[in-house]
Chain A
Amino acid sequence: MDDVRFRPCGDRAITVEFENEISIAVNKKVRALQCALETEEIPGVIETVPTYRSLLIQYKPAVIRYAPLVEKVKEKLSDLSALTLPPAMITEIPVCYEGEYAQDLDEIASIEKKSRDEIIRIHSGSDYFVYMLGFAPGHPYTARFENPFSFKRRKSPRERIPGGSIVVQLQLSDIIPFDQPCGWNIIGTTPVLACDFRKKNPFCLHSGEWIRHIPITAAEFRSIRGKVEAGNYTFTRREYKG
């Protein structure tokens, strides 16, 4: 495989870098390598972190050193095209775009010179691809193909926005898992938790999956929130078919 670079990150990790771009095609290679390492483990590899165009591999030098590890990873890469990725999943993320739940929706509509309804249709009308999780536990970096919105960040970030906020810019849409500062526009709020530490598996999303935002009313928001808080909410997930 050309265009793959191996870079040491200190003495206990390496980064495997694919092409320098954010695209689903490149991210699929990252995901394929991660799957190959999960399917047939290289002894000494502790865990991997997929990002847009790189896979971070953390390992124990006592078991395998840098040079032999790179060789083993190269072997995996030569087999990658033969690897079938498990089917991607798509998860429905309910989003309330009403009133106080959609703090910046009017501003977004004004910038785009469209109606509130049109903005909602644009955001909820397309699947978003989950490139990776990071920044906070369960926080997905997601994007769609085209730029539905023209704006980037707000002039100044807010010191604190609530967990559950759905924030957007350009072709990106993020679920903010916990209260935190944020400089993006808030288009809606979801009653579900991107990270629920009470659960055995706290996370609802994984790198390489898809999400679809489903508009809900304020009443539905409260009802789902109740289920989430009681630990009774189940995500709607299915195989993604293009």
Chain B
Amino acid sequence: MSMIIESGGILTTVQDGGRYGSQQYGVYPSGPMDDRSFRMANILAGNDADEACLEITISGPVIRFTENAVIAVTGGNFTPELNRNPLGMYRAVAVKDGDTVSFGYAKTGCRCYLAVAGGMNIPDLMGSKSTLIKYGVGGYKGRKLASGDEIPLNGTPDAVSDLTARVLPAEQIPSEVRTVRVILGPQEEDFTEAGIRTFLYSEYTVNPVSDRMGYRMDGPRIEQKTDGNIISDGIVMGAVQVPTDGKPIIMMADHQTVGGYTKIASVISVDLPVVGQMKPGDRARFVAVGIEEAQDLYAAYLNELESFKVKMNTPVSYRAPRYFTICVNNRQFSVKVEEAE
């Protein structure tokens, strides 16, 4: 009744929607780096959108199932395979007792998500299954997955019906320069006009020393009025800190809850998944938007998730189109079958 991890991959952790309510005690929320792919995986698998999934980074695991299950994989393309055949992404897939799912290297993006219908049977820590990796607690034994690990499943594959209708057109992850929209501030006033122009008109590259805590960006120095130190205040995911050296750092899911560097801007919520899918070497440009626009976009995002969830949970008319993945000569094809008029 479980998933056996035959090899763990570079960084595979259990993440759910996040651990909220304790940031005032210094507990960062964790949760997914790409919220959108994470939620889509859960909706496809018939789960609550914030159910715990595996977040798979850069190079993925090999997992063997010891029971029948329904899974969904979204996010970056790690060329996942089911028993050595290409595994369709962005769809619900039935796996059987004894099946093996394996992930290669991230050809696009940086992370992908594996959701299992019914979720994983692992204990909560302070109401959440997210891994607090820096402190070795939460998730699966407080660490990334390793060979030999066994994750019990709650197992409700029969509750998920009509798998061929549980499909989302695959999200395209851009490979050229990403546009990342931000809201300026809270310490906008501590930057010179030149500094803000530099930030908004330059290209920044993700430095290899980047992780779930933050993305260090290489590029032109951002000029500020002071040495970049402030009386420590609160930090949110997406906050762009600028230390004394002028190089921006985008704080991400494992951000410290408080910090003493100036923050020039914050990435808007709907663009956090864009950042979460960037790898070292990827490039970004920042664009300033107003808070009204950002909140409109966020409302549209929530509506999109909700509509998709309703669509997935509505019994499908037998006339509805079905989607299949067929494999011909080792190449994968997505086929849509519609009843003829």
Q: A residues engaging B (CB < 8 A)? A: 7-13, 15, 17, 20-22, 34, 46-56, 58, 61-62, 65-66, 132-139, 141, 178, 195, 197, 202-203, 206-207
Contact = CB atoms under 8 A, between A and B. Distances in A.
Interface stretch (B7-15, B72-80, B293-301): B293-301
A53 B21 CA distance: 20
B263 to A, nearest CB: 7
Nearest to B126: A202
What 8 A-B pairs come out closest when comparing CB atoms?
A: A56-B234, A10-B266, A134-B258, A7-B186, A11-B294, A49-B234, A54-B233, A61-B295
A226 to B, nearest CB: 22
B164 interface: no
Nearest to A13: B236
Interface stretch (B24-32, B59-67, B321-329): B24-32
B186 A47 contact: no
Contacts of B291: 8, 11, 66
B23 interface: yes
A27 to B, nearest CB: 11
B234 A51 contact: yes
A49 B135 contact: no
Chain B contact surface mostly: mixed
A134 B183 contact: no
A49 B257 CA distance: 8
A8 B24 contact: no
B262 to A, nearest CB: 12
Nearest to A48: B24
Contacts of B235: 56
Given A13-B236, A50-B24, A7 B185 contact: yes
A9 B185 CA distance: 6
A238 B25 CA distance: 20
A151 B233 CA distance: 24
Contact of B24 (A7, A49, A62, A197): A49
Contacts of A197: 125-126, 135, 137
B258 A15 contact: no
Contacts of B5: none
Chain B, interface size category, equals 35 or more
B319 to A, nearest CB: 34
Interface in B7-64: 20-27
A134 B186 contact: no
Contacts of A46: 20
B238 interface: yes
Contacts, number: 137
5 contacts: A8-B291, A15-B234, A47-B20, A66-B292, A133-B26
A9 B135 contact: no
Nearest to A58: B236
A10 B299 contact: no
Contact of A22 (B22, B231, B294): B231
A12 B269 contact: yes
Contact of A47 (B24, B182, B233, B266): B24
Contact of B299 (A51, A56, A58, A61): A61
B27 A9 contact: no
A131 to B, nearest CB: 9
Contacts of A47: 20-24
B234 A54 contact: yes
Contacts of B298: 11-12, 61-62
Contacts of B302: 62
Contacts of A51: 231-234, 258
Contacts of A9: 185-186, 234, 236, 239, 263, 266
A11 B295 contact: yes
Contacts of B274: none
A10 B294 contact: yes
B267 interface: yes
A56 B266 CA distance: 14
A195 to B, nearest CB: 8
Contacts of A49: 23-24, 234, 257-258
B304 to A, nearest CB: 13
B307 to A, nearest CB: 14
Contacts of A10: 182-183, 236, 238-239, 266-269, 294
A20 to B, nearest CB: 7
A49 B231 CA distance: 14
B26 A134 contact: yes
A52 B229 CA distance: 14
Contacts of A134: 26, 232, 256-258
A207 B257 CA distance: 14
A129 to B, nearest CB: 15
Contacts of B27: 137
Nearest to B297: A11
B266 A53 contact: no
B151 to A, nearest CB: 20
A138 B186 CA distance: 25
A227 B193 CA distance: 57
